[in-house]
Amino acid sequence: MPNDASNSPLAPYAAQPASSRGRRFAQEASYSRTEYQRDRDRIIHSTAFRRLEYKTQVFVNHEGDLFRTRLTHSLEVAQIARSIARQLRLNEDLVEAISLAHDLGHTPFGHAGQDALNDCMKNFGGFEHNLQSLRVVDELEERYGAFDGLNLTFETREGILKHCSLSNAKTLGDIGQRFIDKKQPTLEAQLANLADEIAYNNHDIDDGLRSGLILETQLMELDFFARYRREVEAAYPGLAGRRAISETIRRMVNALIMDLIQSSQKRIAEFAPQTLEDVRNGPGMISFSEEMRVQAGLLKRFLHENLYRHYLVNRMTAKARKTVRELFNAMHAEPILLPPDYQVKDGNPQGPVQARKIADYIAGMTDRYAMREYRRLFSVDEV
């Protein structure tokens, strides 16, 4: 078991707010908060963060009040990431800021919405939610008089951009350079990425069971689930229903967290970084053990085969793709259907600038707003 590191100083290779690469627009330091605490607070107060409450994780918002949304998912990622960061003596505020912001660019209807919007944008540079999350915090949020976006630190922005093609990286300046140079982000960014995986794998099991689309008998065929379900039965004979499932998933999450801490500690000790620059020039150091990576992969495959591709989920995702596709096509054909702020005043109304504005508008929608806009455009009974 790791020791309680809550009072330990940050490791020398952790991201230090005083040594941040700074913000795109210079601002005076805060008297009461570090730079990464300011980032976290700006994200929480942003419009895009509030919208996550009504954006799909797996189940569309109106399908049930108890299913996860992008907002509750982001909070769970932040909690897991902070707990692990404390044990590894990494910067908790930075890892929390990255975790809370990582899904700000997600479309309505989850991955189905993203895939549909990417297809619509294929002639205009495509659409990818990581890039859109960065675009949200760099350009689209409108809260300050002096600049667009939230003006976050380099390290938070770097962590938000988990993936990036080389072609896109070349257009992003310093924030995309690590993909060109094949360097690593901070350990905090690496950690937020894997905390995301821990959170969605386990809460999707919980939501899948709650929905009835997957069954406990199916999950018992997975050694990872069965091991902890039997452990719960041994500890609480006869326990069933939601409490038994919650006890099982709690143990699964704990096992993943413990493995990630212990495996990462070993890799950090092996490569012995002394500075943040050593982290950037080294291999990825936040990782599961090989055994746990296999178990997590089997869990992910189970969810893809039995939940994400369940015919009832497929029905909803088909509707989602149709909604996004038809919204885009209608607005692209007639940009006057857009709110004035999203209409290009000069230039080609069917060109890439207008297309990107349409993508921004649709990506910013919640599930229910997208459905409402669809009815407004295509139903004669709506205005």
**The pLDDT of residue 379:** 85
**The pLDDT of residue 312:** 86
**The pLDDT of residue 59:** 54
Residue 89 has pLDDT above 60, yes or no: yes
Lowest mean pLDDT: which of 5-14, 102-111, 238-247, 296-305? 5-14
- Mean pLDDT of all residues in the chain? 92
Place of tokens 């229903």: 241
Q: In angstroms, rounded to a whole number, what is the distance separating the alpha carbons of residues 16 and 34?
A: 9
Mean pLDDT of 181-209: 94
Q: Which residues pair with 56 in a beta bridge?
A: 69
Q: Is residue 56 classed as helix, strand or coil in its secondary structure?
A: strand
102 contacts 74 by C-beta, under 8 angstroms: yes
Q: pLDDT band for position 269 (50/70/90)?
A: very high
Q: pLDDT band for position 1 (50/70/90)?
A: very low
Residue 231 has pLDDT above 50, yes or no: yes
Mean pLDDT of 246-258: 96
Helix axes 223-235, 241-271, angle to 10 degrees: 120
Q: pLDDT band for position 2 (50/70/90)?
A: very low
Q: List, for residues 101-142, the tens digit of each pLDDT value.
A: 999 999 999 889 999 999 999 999 999 999 999 999 999 999
Q: In angstroms, rounded to a whole number, what is the distance separating the alpha carbons of residues 122 and 149?
A: 25
**The pLDDT of residue 220:** 96
Helix axes 92-101, 187-211, angle to 10 degrees: 50
**The pLDDT of residue 68:** 78
Q: In angstroms, rounded to a whole number, what is the distance separating the alpha carbons of residues 18 and 124?
A: 39
Instruction: Indicate the domain borders of the chain.
Output: 33-312, 313-378
- Which class is 33-312 in CATH? mainly alpha
Residue 217 has pLDDT above 60, yes or no: yes
Q: List, for residues 323-368, the tens digit of each pLDDT value.
A: 999 999 999 999 999 999 999 988 788 899 999 999 999 999 999 9
Mean pLDDT of 203-208: 88
Residue 63 has pLDDT above 60, yes or no: no
Residue 373 has pLDDT above 70, yes or no: yes
**The pLDDT of residue 203:** 86
Better-scored residue on pLDDT, 191 or 167: 191
Mean pLDDT of 24-47: 95
Q: List, for residues 285-318, the tens digit of each pLDDT value.
A: 999 999 999 999 999 999 999 988 888 888 888 9
Residue 45 has pLDDT above 90, yes or no: yes
Q: In angstroms, rounded to a whole number, what is the distance separating the alpha carbons of residues 121 and 168?
A: 14
For residue 87, which of 231, 263, 218, 205 has the smallest C-alpha distance?
A: 263
